[in-house]
Structure 1
Amino acid sequence: MNGATIAGGLTGLAAVAGAVSARTILLRRPGPYQPSGHALPGPKAADPLPEVLRRGLGGLTVPVTPGPHGELFIGPGGPQPGRTLRRLVLTPLFARAKSRGGRLAREQQTPFRLVVEFTGANREAETLLRAYAMLDQQLRDHAALLSHCDGDTLVPGAVTVSVCGIVDVRELLATQRTRYAFADGTFDDLGSQSAPPTLVPVISEPWTRRFGWDGREPIPAEERHLLHAIVRQAHDDGRIVRIAGLPAGSGRARRAIWTELGAAGVDVIADRDQRGLVRHLRRHPVSRVPAATLPTRAVRRTSPRPHAPRPDRRTESV
């Protein structure tokens, strides 16, 4: 009887352990890929990438600060050993894409959008441009997986890198015939001949820069019209739109804003509330999620033309 009891107990423990293990695996399994979701890490986030990948978000903005030897550091406070963009973001991100045949997720259709935002007290142009040179060198180590521009030819990859926070970065990028990073644009770039989609494929602004609606009441008709007009013009330009800087408010108010952005066809919605945003996008996908599929190998494409016959086929490939 004692032997049977012990055996039964061990069997029960094994079953419980198996259930716990299965639950742990399920909890760690990445969520479905959300190309329209973009993560903005909190001010204390020292290693933001794992959570972003686990939730299946399609992009991440990483604030970086130039430090010793030209390295770019992330996280709060001053530069800390080992807390570099290369070690915590670039290396694991590209290792994951390489191990999965050039995609971060099986259902990934469009590039993961990594925005490198240069911050910090040192705003000297020479320091920032030297830091960009370091970033460019690090990106070229992963050229096969990156969206890049070769002259006027756009080649999509698993990851598209945009740079913001450097005043003269556009001029520097424009001098590179083959570049592995792009400039982050604003709504002022709409229709601009000096900032073509091959240089500025994404326009992005904080919501509160041009809109006063906070989601608590119905959106004013004129603001809705402006939002739809901006998105339509950006798509006609061959660009995509990313909206960030949403007003702080209740979950209900934030969901109302996300809903309006999705209905207007805003390609990428950026927010710190990663969990809430992912849940919302699963239930309410953006109206114009791009359909272009990432190639399994490098494919040369010509520059996108405005007013393409089918609105889906935009410069979403970069």
Structure 2
Amino acid sequence: MNDAVTIGSGIAGVAAVAGVASAALLARRPGPYRATGHAIARPDDLDPLPGALRRGLGGLTVPVTPGPHGELYLGPGAPQPGRTLRRLVLSPLFDRIRSRGGRLAPEQQVPYRLVVEFTGANRDAETLLRAYRMLDQQLRDHAALLSHCDHDRLTPGAVTVSIAGIVDVRELLAAEEVRYAFAEGTFDDIGSHAAPPGLVPMISEPWSRRFGWDGREPISAEERHLLHAMVRSAHEDGRTVRISGLAEADRQARRAIWTELGAAGVDVIADTDQRGLARHLRRHPVSQWVAREPLPARTVRRTSPRPTAPRPDRRRETV
């Protein structure tokens, strides 16, 4: 669809400048790829992808708001031309992967994790459904590069897309025999037949949901044991774990929490403090699972899944 919305030409000019700046930033040489690091874009960030890629972070959570005809828009306020998810995130991300032979970086071993978080005051079910259908269509244009699930069989790709912020998204996704997006989960989904890994491959929670430690004093033995036990249970259930840090903590407290998350084997550490997180992971790298089905070494043009031999254990298929 046409991204244009009828507003003043001055705003359109700002959007054009932002697009040029985005392209310039994407062209800059990124830092070493940190699969564990995950950027959380702030609601007022109009172009969050370039910074996250430049810092080598292995994922991005981006808040979006449904606009006219189901298109998804970034940034606060009313939808603005040029600020669509497709233009600012999806197209540049997949173009970069194609230009590099199917990976964001030579050392990429697990999918880039893109979380699309539906926000905004309009929670009308029909509006959200129309927006999801539009997103699904846009994702299928890049099917060969996406992690997908075909009749409950997970196949990793260069990018895994998760949906957050839609209450009924699990029902929408479960109805699709082949899906190119997944639902966000919680630790309550471990062992749930209603939320199998093929539907909810990643558990995603903020630190404060289950833990009271604020990073300023040493963590208690009880909370450390609980963290390790929960992460281990999630891995044994075939899921990856993403935990975000404290939203209003200083950097020293954040670093303490990041350190504990890394020691517990958390797969994805998410935070709005992208610069601090990238620096911390550079100094304290976290070992990663390696997907049993490796990511493609070059761009694959076919849209149908590649046949593979049956595997007895799916627990380390990192999606």
Q: TM-score, normalised by structure 1?
A: 0.86
Check whether the contact 2:103–2:296 (CA below 8 A) recurs between aligned residues: no
1:249 deviates by 2.2
Residue 224 of structure 2 corresponds to residue 234 of structure 1 = no
2:188 paired with 1:191: no
1:171-220: per-residue Cα shift (whole Å, max 9, x none)?
Answer: 11011001100001011101111111010000011111111101000001
Contact 1:205–1:245 (8 Å) recurs in 2 = no
Give RMSD over aligned pairs: 2.0
Judge conservation of contact 2:158–2:296 (CA < 8 Å) in 1: no
Distance 1:266 1:123 in 2: 32
Secondary structure at 1:162 match in 2 = strand
Q: Distance in 1 between matches of 2:307 and 2:221?
A: 42
Q: Secondary structure at the match of 1:203?
A: strand
1:84–1:247 distance in 2 versus 1, CA, 3 Å = closer
Q: Give the distance between the partners of 1:247 and 1:173, measured in 2 at CA.
A: 30
Distance across 1 between alignment mates of 2:197 and 2:308: 13
Q: How big is the shift at 1:250?
A: 2.4
- Output the CA distance in 2 between the equivalents of 1:305 and 1:198: 15
Q: Aligned partners of 1:138 and 1:38: how far apart in 2?
A: 23
How many angstroms apart in 2 are the aligned matches of 1:300 and 1:184?
27
Tell me the CA shift for residue 301 of structure 1.
Answer: 5.1
- Deviation, structure 1 residue 304: 7.4
Corresponding residue pairs, total: 287
Residue by residue over 1:34-72, the C-alpha shift from the partner in whole angstroms, topping out at 9 and shown as x without a partner, is 000000112320000011111111000010100001100
In the alignment, is the contact (CA less than 8 A) between 2:245 and 2:257 conserved in 1? no
Question: Shift in Å at residue 246 of structure 1?
Answer: 1.8
Q: Contact between 1:207 and 1:245, CA under 8 Å: does it hold in 2?
A: yes
- Structure 1 pair 32/239, CA: closer, same or farther in 2 (3 Å)? same
Number of the residue aligned with 1:289: 288
CA separation of 1:57/1:278 partners in 2, compared to 1, >3 Å: closer, same or farther?
same
SS in 2 for 1:315: coil
Contact 1:243–1:268 (Cα < 8 Å) also in 2:
yes
For structure 2, the residue ranges without an aligned partner over 5 or more in a row are: 1-23
* Structure 1 residues 251 and 44: alpha-carbon distance in aligned structure 2, compared to 1, 3 A threshold: same
**Aligned-partner Cα distance in 2 for 1:30–1:303:** 37
| Conservation of the 8 A alpha-carbon contact between 2:187 and 2:230 | yes
3-state SS of the aligned residue for 1:211? coil
How far the C-alpha of 1:315 sits from its partner, in A, is 3.0
Q: Encode CA deviations 1:256-303: one digit per residue, 9 max, x unaligned.
A: 1000000000000000111111111111122x4112331335644578
Q: Which residue of 2 aligns with 1:38?
A: 38
Shift in alpha-carbon separation, 1:219–1:132, aligned structure 2, 3 A: same
Matched ranges for 1:123-202 at <5 A: 123-202=123-202
Partner Cα separation in structure 1 for residue 278 and residue 306 of structure 2: 31
1:270 lines up with 2:263 in the alignment: no
Match of 1:100 in 2: 100
Q: Percent identity between the aligned chains?
A: 74
Distance 1:76 1:245 in 2: 23
Q: Which runs of 4+ in 1 moved over 6 A?
A: 302-306
Matched with 1:219 is 219
Structure 1 gaps of 5+ residues are 1-23
Q: How does 1:12-91 map to 2 (within 5 A)?
A: 28-91=28-91
Secondary structure of 2:122's aligned partner: coil
1:217-273 CA deviation, whole Å, 9 max, x = no partner?
Answer: 000111111111110000000000000152422222111100000000000000011
Q: TM-score, normalised by structure 2?
A: 0.86
Question: Which residue identity does 1:144 align to in structure 2?
Answer: A
